Homo-oligomer: A and B are copies of this chain.
């Protein structure tokens, strides 16, 4: 059946992406600089694994970029979240507030700690945590006892709030931080998608007690697989390094351990790629911004659809470009997905909300109508820096 709106949408995509083309993935890496050189250096130096200069260098460069006092490189974003939650002392008797609109890694890391995810809603403006709704919810559902915020229904301590910068767009972290301070719930900032994004001139991932960034292959820059933990507290940072490197007690030759640790350190060879990638981050970010403009222009003439813009006062990295269907057009979402993918333009809906996944259905949650609404209307479209 022909649908003019769907056709127009796919045409606008094709136009921006200069079709005909074979296939356009949602996001692929872009190697413009010294990647080959540093990899060669890495092999020449014989240091490819848990020792070598590139990991330290990568951590330092991330500190400079983000303004975070400490940065601890790990194997991926999920492991970074896992350790960050452990650092916040999240255990099996605790609850962690997590947006339902997020990638599964945010919730898996809570599950690894044996804790209970407690799902919270997002706002239309940023796709991220709705500060006002969270405040009202906690006022109703939680009590404050011995300096801790307790869920009245479950009697469990609400140990942390995971705040996700969805698709790289900075959330309203200023307002969320106020709520977190009022209820004494520390923030873990999931900036997995947020490298190069700023909220009021401060890099995302540096507002919470801890933050994480991912360098998976689908991110703005990549290390193959990789992530990093951001911290401003020296002791937390020290402990993060300890836990991610098997928790071995320092000694010249003895192998001694006093607690369960993790083999999460980023290998030197992966950090080598990251350094080359960081050198070109400004260029890559500029291209993503230009791609946003190009999409905006193409979709200007398509009524019933818009492209997600960075929030006011913020600078987004535009990691993943997102079409937002008007309410009246949401029944077309799957038709657009089908047609675009058939035309070799990779598109996908937003992640299925966490509270709708079979194994996560039983967990506590607030009313999640904005999450459900966004899920029905968002479509991610090709976003690689090399598309423009």
Contacts and interface: CB of A to CB of B under 8 A. Distances in A.
Contact of A104 (B50, B76, B261, B348): B261
Contact of A255 (B29, B36, B265, B352): B352
Given A39-B39, A225-B267, A255-B352, A111 B260 contact: yes
Given A36-B43, A348-B255, A105 B246 contact: yes
A359 interface: yes
SS of A interface (majority): loop
Given A35-B43, A43-B36, A270-B224, A114 B111 contact: no
Contact of A262 (B47, B108, B347): B108
Interface string A29-66: 10100011001100100111111000000000000000
A258 interface: yes
Nearest to A105: B263
A216 interface: yes
State the number of copies, please.
Answer: 2
Given A104-B261, A259-B359, A46 B75 contact: no
A304 to B, nearest CB: 21
A78 interface: yes
Contact of A269 (B114, B270, B359): B270
A342 to B, nearest CB: 10
A337 B251 CA distance: 12
Interface string A148-174: 000000000000000000000000000
Given A48-B222, A270-B270, 14 more contacts: A29-B48, A36-B40, A43-B273, A49-B218, A103-B255, A104-B246, A104-B261, A108-B262, A224-B267, A253-B337, A253-B348, A254-B352, A258-B357, A259-B359
A-B CB proximity, top 6 nearest: A49-B217, A224-B267, A224-B269, A253-B348, A225-B267, A78-B263
